[in-house]
């Protein structure tokens, strides 16, 4: 048979289609371009407004170029501030229509701050009489004060274990009370006789506190897995470069971290050459290998969530276990806590400023209360020698991360922060920064900054310790900065920094603030591959 003849309707449809196509192309030749605006009708589709231009021609005439959205200025309607001026694309992503409500009928309510005297005239005598009570309520935080005082050892009669057990389970990392007791019992058995030991030397003489503690807890985890008690080498103990050589003289030992921290173990005097090792043999561990986490706590943590539909594993388990080790090691002894309290209550050591957008060079002084007020944000800016390990994050980016969070939680948080850093320039920049995000819908428009006026240099830990004649006291001063950070209720940092990791861990193990938000100003997943 010959080929089938196409149906007459198909032929007719093809003719109509070709005719329409020819007509359309002819129209393009006349108009040159056909604009399609996708931003005006559907503003939520894109972060910034954009115009897509399609060109077509049937002749050799020059076509108009397609505008590049990477270089074209976005057509923001409500403000003349552009993302490139802010330098923070995340802020712009929050406001596709600019920074004001485009509806003309909308008016932002004014703050009563400017016309409080007029409002007072509208109140009854009874209402006027109650105003001082509201002021007192805003400055009296009995439960917060009790916990913070216990955290500093003030009015606390018991041990660190007693303090931890006094905290709310709901605010701690899961199983913290059990895990802290588990580690403590391993390091402080009822009977030290017959125990085996793992003795470690200071193999990290140029490390700062955070890095040394991280090294110690890795060794502690290995010691638990081989059923050995971890102790410091009495001749060259870890942390001896962070303190004065004679700081342990009163106890008959050389200077080490145990000058300022609780003893790692109560069994150190039982260690001999026969029952001790200076390096771990993985074959001693069950299964013949040292794991990132200890099997029993790992399974205890997993079992805790069994039946809930949650199955934690991988990096989360390691993250939780290492937070517990941080918490156990970083317990200041009573002498260090006493000195930390003296430093914390010394008013001349701490400064507060409310930034002044009218004249950024003349901020208004503010007192630094104890404890820090509710909703205060901790911002630890890690600069210094961190550039040798990873990327540095600008002071501006830390502030932006905090502002984005506060803007999302206006009823709970205000622009008030305690800033800790080794970089004096970071503090100077903050004092000149009343705001970055131009939105005014905050509890307070201008930032209030708290910080401690301690010697600091934009360098490594050893360089900062060298600024003070007594390294032991300098170390305690920096630990006090760590404790002040944990007084806060929200945390902004970069968990690619050991100091930020200490803040993050302590708030979840030695204080019940694990449900408080932690905002990473760096990569949000920095904690996953933390070494």
Please tell me what DSSP assigns to residue 56: -
pTM: 0.79
Percent of the chain with pLDDT over 90: 53
Question: Per the domain annotation, does 252 fall within a domain?
Answer: yes
Assign residue 428 the CATH number of its domain: 3.40.50
Q: Are residues 275 and 373 in the same domain?
A: no
The Cα-based distances of 463 to 38, 95, 139, 242, 269 in angstroms read 56, 43, 38, 11, 34
Residue 75 has pLDDT above 60, yes or no: no
Flag whether 373 is in a domain.
yes
CA–CA distance, 239 with 411 (Å, rounded to integer): 44
Name the DSSP letter for residue 493: E
Cα 217 from Cα 323, distance rounded (Å):
10
Domain membership of residue 154 (yes or no) is: no
Q: Among residues 307, 331, 355, which one ends one of the domains?
A: 331
Choose one of 44, 68, 93: the last residue of a domain: 93
Domain count, the chain: 3
Give me the pLDDT at residue 298, please. Answer: 93
Distance of alpha carbon 466 from alpha carbon 469, whole angstroms: 7
pLDDT value for 386: 61
Please state whether beta strands 490-493 and 377-381 pair in parallel, antiparallel, or not at all (unpaired): parallel
355 in the same domain as 304? no
CB proximity list for 180: less than 8 A, separation 6 or greater:
161, 164, 324, 327, 328, 509
Both 418 and 381 in a single domain?
A: yes
Contact 225, 290 (CB under 8 A): yes
Last residue of a domain, one of 59, 93, 127: 93
Asked, for residue 69, whether it belongs to a domain, the answer is: yes
Q: Is residue 280 domain-shared with residue 376, that is, in the same domain?
A: no
Q: Decide if 149 is inside a domain.
A: no
For the record, the structure tokens of 377 come out as: 């944000």
Backbone angles phi, psi at 463, to 5 degrees: -65, -35
56 confidence band (pLDDT: 50, 70, 90)? very low
The answer to whether residues 342 and 294 belong to one domain is no
For residues 280 and 463, give the distance between their C-alpha atoms in angstroms, rounded to a whole number: 33
Domain holding 389, by residue range, is: 335-520
Structure confidence by residue, pLDDT tens digits, 195-245 = 999 999 999 988 889 999 999 999 999 999 999 999 999 999 999 999 998
Instruction: Tell me the per-residue pLDDT of 436-483, one tens digit each, with 9 for 90 and over.
Output: 877 666 677 889 999 999 988 877 777 777 778 799 999 999 999 999
Residue 497: name the closest of 213, 91, 262 by CA: 213
Q: Model confidence at 315, in pLDDT bands (50, 70, 90)? A: confident
pLDDT digits (tens, 9 = 90+) for 333-382: 999 999 999 999 999 999 999 998 888 888 899 999 999 999 999 999 98
Token pair recorded at residue 424: 């004096």
Let me know whether 375 and 259 are in one domain: no
Please check whether residues 248 and 311 belong to one and the same domain. Answer: yes
Q: Give the model confidence (pLDDT) of 135-155 as tens digits.
A: 888 877 888 999 999 999 999
Asked whether residue 376 falls in the same domain as residue 495, the answer is yes
Q: How many CA atoms lie within 13 A of 364 on its CB side?
A: 10
**Position 148 in a domain:** no
CB 96 within 8 A of CB 46: yes
Instruction: Check if the beta carbon of residue 511 is closer than 8 Å to that of residue 167.
Output: yes
CB 284 within 8 A of CB 197: no
Q: Which residue has the higher pLDDT, 314 or 32?
A: 314
| Token code pair at residue 461 | 């830990």
Q: Which residues contact 217 (CB under 8 A, 6 or more apart)?
A: 322, 325, 326, 328, 329
DSSP string, 107-134: -PPPPGGGGHHHHHTTS-HHHHHHHHHH
Overall size of the chain counted in residues = 531
Rounded Cα distance between 316 and 405, Å, is 24
Give me the pLDDT at residue 250, please. 67
- The answer to whether residue 62 is domain-embedded is yes
pLDDT of residue 382: 85
């Amino acid at each position: 048979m010959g080929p089938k003849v196409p149906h007459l309707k198909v032929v007719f449809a093809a003719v109509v289609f070709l005719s329409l196509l020819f007509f359309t192309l002819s129209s393009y030749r006349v108009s040159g371009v056909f604009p399609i605006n996708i931003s005006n009708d559907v503003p939520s589709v894109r972060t910034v407004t954009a115009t897509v231009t399609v060109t077509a021609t049937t002749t050799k005439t020059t076509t108009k170029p397609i505008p590049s959205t990477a270089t074209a200025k976005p057509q923001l309607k409500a403000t003349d501030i552009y993302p490139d001026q802010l330098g923070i694309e995340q802020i712009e992503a929050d406001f596709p229509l600019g920074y004001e409500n485009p509806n003309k009928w909308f008016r932002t309510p004014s703050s009563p701050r400017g016309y409080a005297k007029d409002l007072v005239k509208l109140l009854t005598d009874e209402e006027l009489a109650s105003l001082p009570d509201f002021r007192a309520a805003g400055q009296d935080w009995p439960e917060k004060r009790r916990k913070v005082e216990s955290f500093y050892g003030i009015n606390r009669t018991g041990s660190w274990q007693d303090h931890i057990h006094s905290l709310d389970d709901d605010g701690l990392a899961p199983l913290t009370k059990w895990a802290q007791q588990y580690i403590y019992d391993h390091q402080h058995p009822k009977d030290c006789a017959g125990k085996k030991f793992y003795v470690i030397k200071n193999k990290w003489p140029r490390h700062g506190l955070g890095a040394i503690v991280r090294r110690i807890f890795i060794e502690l985890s290995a010691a638990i897995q081989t059923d050995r008690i971890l102790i410091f080498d009495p001749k060259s103990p870890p942390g001896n470069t962070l303190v004065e050589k004679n700081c342990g003289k009163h106890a008959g030992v050389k200077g080490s971290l145990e000058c300022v921290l609780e003893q790692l173990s109560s069994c150190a005097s039982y260690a001999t050459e026969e029952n001790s090792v200076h390096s771990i043999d993985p074959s001693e561990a069950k299964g013949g290998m040292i794991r990132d986490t200890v099997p029993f706590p790992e399974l205890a943590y997993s079992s805790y969530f069994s039946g809930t539909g949650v199955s934690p594993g991988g990096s989360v388990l390691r993250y939780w276990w290492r937070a517990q080790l941080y918490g156990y090691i970083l317990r200041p002894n009573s002498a260090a806590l006493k000195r930390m309290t003296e430093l914390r209550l010394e008013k001349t050591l701490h400064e507060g400023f409310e930034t002044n957008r009218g004249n950024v060079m003349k901020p208004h002084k503010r007192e630094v209360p104890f404890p820090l007020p509710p909703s205060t944000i901790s911002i630890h800016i890690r600069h210094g020698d961190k550039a040798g390990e990873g990327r540095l994050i600008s002071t501006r980016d830390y502030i932006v991360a905090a502002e984005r969070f506060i803007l999302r939680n206006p009823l709970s948080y205000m622009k008030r922060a305690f800033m800790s850093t080794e970089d004096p320039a970071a503090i100077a920049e903050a004092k000149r920064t009343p705001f970055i995000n131009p939105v005014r819908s905050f509890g307070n428009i201008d930032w209030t900054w708290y910080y401690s006026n301690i010697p600091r240099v934009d360098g490594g830990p050893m360089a900062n310790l060298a600024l003070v004649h007594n390294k032991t006291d300098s170390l305690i001063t920096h630990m006090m900065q760590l404790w002040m950070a944990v007084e806060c209720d929200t945390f902004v940092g970069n968990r690619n920094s050991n100091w930020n990791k200490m803040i993050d861990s302590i708030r979840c193990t030695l204080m019940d603030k694990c449900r408080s938000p932690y905002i990473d100003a760096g990569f949000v997943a920095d904690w996953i591959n933390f070494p």
